[in-house]
A and B are shown apart, each in its own frame.
Chain A
Amino acid sequence: MDLLLLGIDGLPRWMWQQLADSGVMPHSRELLQSGTLVPMQSSLPEVSSAAWASIVTGLNPGGHNVFGFTDLMDGSYSLGFTSSRTFRAKPFWMRPASRPSLIINVPQTYPAQPFNGMLVSGFVALDLKRAVHPPDQLQWLESIDYAVDADMSLLQQGKPRFVQELRRVMTARCQALHHHWDREPWQQIMFVFTGTDRLNHYLWEDFEDLSSPLHQTFLDYYHEVDRQIGAILQRLDDRTLLAVVSDHGFARQRRSINVNCLLAEAGYLHLKPSARPSYSDMIPETRAFAMDPGRIYLHRQGRYPGGSVQPEQAEELLQELERYLLQLSVAGCPVVSQVLRGAHIYSGPFAHRVPDLVALPATDVALSGRMNLQELIEPTLINGRHTHEESTFFVRGTQHGVIPERMRVEDVLQVLQPEVQSLRKAA
């Protein structure tokens, strides 16, 4: 086998090192000693859908068209959910001459598309029946109660029950990995752990608080992830290039702030009254609006049905918004740490669809862009948030490409597979 690419959703580089060193993840400790671990920058914005799409294509969102979990359909206010259908670049396993690949639980691959290999989609997948290629493998997955995602509603029954669910899903997923690994001589395998991200979102406070009764539950889950990593490592010989990546880092979240509330308050966003506000309720007076997490779009004429911002007004408005966002504070704390221009950070065939600005959150803050403007600070059980910095990149051995000084998610393929890179250029 040429390549095994392991994904661990939401695993910060520093935390992996810390849990490895402290003995919570002993297999990882051994593994980390056999290669190079560096921090990696996530995509912009730092959401899983965009970041995983970048990892598997080597492109930024301007190249693969995944800017978040949602997007507006061109020329309308229809809110679409990104999927393999809107993911417009070919992941490495779908490129011409790609060798047989086993791809399990990679986000943004639903519904499963035909290719040379087997794939089980990762989140967001709506129906297992359409998450599997080839479809004749569905029955076996159903027989082991394979779930594309954990049942998040179990949070209502308390965190311990939720963690139990995360474990159940991980066990079935790893069982699927080994079962299918045994079936065929795959040349490439990519497998993603997702429960880590879910755990971090809801139990981050328990991780940070050493006195929390669930602190050990948190560590135990990572210990189990590590045990699974050990089982995978055991099967590998030295000829396989092994890499471990995560899509973003993690940090404490104390409040989730709806940027659209702030834009409305400052007169940039105007909605007509509606029982269930949506983007189609924006009136032409709207000059800017946000989408999750911190994507800011000018309400440009020609881009949106009721858009009113003229091209010659855009630059001034962008500068005004940058100033406005950076000086914002809620409850005495800053909201935004950095504002980037879409035109500067994205490139590729979908560069015309990019957000005009991407705001990165300040410490302790998560940003959202909901159209329900009732609450500036949104009530949520989530207490951990993504970070743009400090995602994980690890590669075993020395037979790999040069790791850039500022490693980014879109550089992963380039480092791992110079030959994949040449295929990418050919594609």
Chain B
Amino acid sequence: MEFKGHVDFRACGQAAFRRAAEGQLVVECRRRPEIGYFDPLSITFESCSEWKKTDCGYMLEGMKVLILGMDGYLGWPLALKLAKLGCKVYGIDNMLRRKLVAERGAHSVTEIRTMQERIEAARQHLGVDIEFREMDLLDRDALFAWIREIRPESIVQFAEIPSAPYSMADVDKAVNTIQNNVVGTLGLLFGVRDHAPEASIIKLGTMGEYGSPLTGRPLFEGLFPGDAVLQYQGQEWSLGGELTPRDPVSFYHVSKVQGTFSVYEACKYWWLRSYDVMQGVIYGNWSDELQAHPDLNTRFDIDEWWGTVVNRFVAQASIGMPLTIYGSGNQMRGYITLRDAMQCITRLVAAPPDPGQYDVINQVTDVFSVLQIAQMVATIGREFGLDVEVQRIENPRVESEEHPYEVIHDKLQERFGFSSESGFADEVRHLFRVMLQPENRDRILAQQGALFPKTRWSGEHGEMKVLERWKPAA
């Protein structure tokens, strides 16, 4: 999709509006005040020197983007992608994820470098400069001072503890999740209000915020009043009297829902601007920038707490461990590859919302059941000579195992020009090639014990029972 026509100055964080005496609306470029005042409707993307065309649409030249949680699975590849596109990338991380994964007795399958080494590798292999400070999101004095110093034009909030089972393991971990995610995001909003109110906030939520409504109500993409009745494919749906109906499925998801409401309110009270991204389950470890050198690897977790299902299935298949399905395996979820997710987030950074605009983006490309995923991974595993086994185990979670699931995910394609660049099969093949490398296989075997679930939502202890085991037909 081309962003043709007039620069939408409400969306361009660089514009300060003034109203001249006779009611003529004029804009002033914050980046280049020396060029004076303009008629906002006379400036096109093509003619504005501050916008340049990229593979992800028109983007502000040298856009200043602050990535919170830059050391993470998503934060690092995003930093590389944006820097490569010409953004000035800043990042913080408290390195908590590395610590928590180690505490679980697990580690990234692909070896990852320290942040200093990563930044040096980015400079050497991609020719980009990324500025990083080790900082806790909860250290508001330091965070606000840096926001004030940078005046970022976009802030990507990835600095959250991203694990449902971790949040359900015990009280300390639940509190830690809520404290970091809820309080961290809330504090951030005040910092943006006071020090960079024109910055757009890309807040990472999750499809898990929606739950899986048993009525079959589609997961509408947006924000609706509680009494709205929405139509989809000829059918009317009541939202049940709730604003942006949410039904979180763990305390981690509760923290994400709270984040959603905090961001929504901040946009309303203070005219901040945000896209709240309901991201599907993410998988893969490939992007153009990551491929430039192994020192640029992003982390790749596969254990019960920190891994996601597709990544874990490929790792299990690679060491001959049965793929573990919780319950019936008929749970439906939305999915997206790392590469596509990075494209989506980049497009959202490039085309910021209007001041005061809070918008929800459903960031998924496919919907699968867990059983379907196991079947597909097993099938692709055979291409690599693997005889993959699948087992159903007692479900440690409290969730619906049989439910309709209809995700509406039109905005990224229709409004932001997103087009998927990687499909399930290719991504899984790539993962197998990586996982089956001897050193990586060894690193999976070394944490084999962490792949089988132990955390029950009920709080009870004890091994999950295996209900069924089989080899999927070819």
Contacts and interface: CB of A to CB of B under 8 A. Distances in A.
Interface of A: 70, 73, 76-83, 85-86, 123-124, 126-127, 148-153, 276, 278-280, 305
Contacts of B44: 77-78, 280
A259 to B, nearest CB: 18
Interface string B22-46: 1110100000011111110111101
B47 A305 contact: yes
Closest 4 pairs (CB-CB, A-B)? A126-B18, A79-B42, A76-B47, A79-B39
Q: Which of A76, A126, A151, A153 has the most CB of B within 10 A?
A: A126
Contact of B21 (A85, A123, A305): A123
A81 B36 contact: yes
Given A79-B38, A124-B21, A126-B18, 9 more contacts: A78-B38, A79-B39, A80-B37, A81-B20, A81-B36, A124-B20, A153-B23, A278-B39, A278-B41
Interface string B1-35: 00000100000000000111111101000000111
Interface residues of B, number: 23
17 contacts: A70-B39, A77-B42, A78-B43, A78-B44, A78-B47, A79-B38, A80-B35, A80-B37, A81-B24, A85-B33, A123-B21, A151-B21, A152-B23, A278-B41, A280-B47, A305-B46, A305-B47
B21 A81 contact: no
Contact of B36 (A82, A276, A280): A82
B425 interface: no
Q: Which of B20, B22, B41, B42 has the most CB of A within 10 A?
A: B42
Contacts, number: 70
Contact of B41 (A83, A123, A126, A276): A276
Contacts of A150: 21
Contacts of A76: 43, 47
A297 B34 CA distance: 25
A79 B42 CA distance: 6
B36 A86 contact: yes
Nearest to A277: B41
B48 interface: yes
A152 B19 CA distance: 13
B38 A85 contact: no
A149 B36 contact: no
A126 B39 contact: no
Nearest to A123: B21
Contacts of B19: 126
Given A278-B42, A280-B44, A305-B47, A85 B20 contact: no
Interface string B318-338: 000000000000000000000
Nearest to B46: A305
A73 B20 CA distance: 19
A353 to B, nearest CB: 14
A149 B47 CA distance: 32
Contact of B37 (A126, A149, A280): A126
A126 B33 contact: no
Nearest to B18: A126
Nearest to A275: B41
A78 B51 CA distance: 14
Contacts of B34: 85
Q: Which of A76, A149, A150 has the most CB of B within 10 A?
A: A76
A218 B48 CA distance: 46
Contacts of A148: 21
Contacts of A279: 42
Contacts of B24: 81
A290 to B, nearest CB: 15
A77 B35 CA distance: 14
A85 B39 contact: no
Interface string B244-269: 00000000000000000000000000
Contacts of B23: 152-153
A262 B457 CA distance: 77
A124 B34 CA distance: 16
Nearest to A85: B36
B5 to A, nearest CB: 9
Interface in B39-97: 39, 41-44, 46-48
A81 B47 contact: no
A126 B26 contact: yes
A406 B332 CA distance: 87
Given A126-B20, A278-B42, A83 B47 contact: no
Q: Which of B36, B38, B41 has the most CB of A within 10 A?
A: B36
Q: Which of A81, A127, A151, A305 has the most CB of B within 10 A?
A: A81
Interface in B176-215: none
Contacts of A278: 39, 41-42
B37 A127 contact: no
Contacts of A151: 21
A70 B42 CA distance: 12
Contacts of A79: 38-39, 42-43
Contacts of B26: 81, 126
Interface string B289-324: 000000000000000000000000000000000000
Contacts of A123: 21
Contact of B38 (A81, A124, A127): A81
B35 A152 contact: no
A150 B22 CA distance: 10
A81 B37 contact: yes
Nearest to B38: A80
A83 B37 contact: yes
A78 B42 contact: yes
Contact of B42 (A85, A153, A280): A280
Contacts of A85: 33-36
Given A278-B42, A280-B44, A80 B36 contact: yes
A70 B38 CA distance: 9
Nearest to A86: B36
B61 to A, nearest CB: 15
Contacts of A276: 41
Nearest to A151: B21
B43 to A, nearest CB: 4
Contacts of B37: 80-81, 83, 126
A294 B67 CA distance: 51
A82 B26 CA distance: 11
Nearest to B37: A81
A83 B39 contact: no
Contacts of B21: 123-124, 148-152
A276 B6 CA distance: 11
B370 to A, nearest CB: 50
A166 to B, nearest CB: 13
A86 B191 CA distance: 35
Nearest to A87: B36
A86 B33 CA distance: 10
Contacts of A86: 35-36
A80 B26 CA distance: 9
A279 B33 CA distance: 22
B185 to A, nearest CB: 33
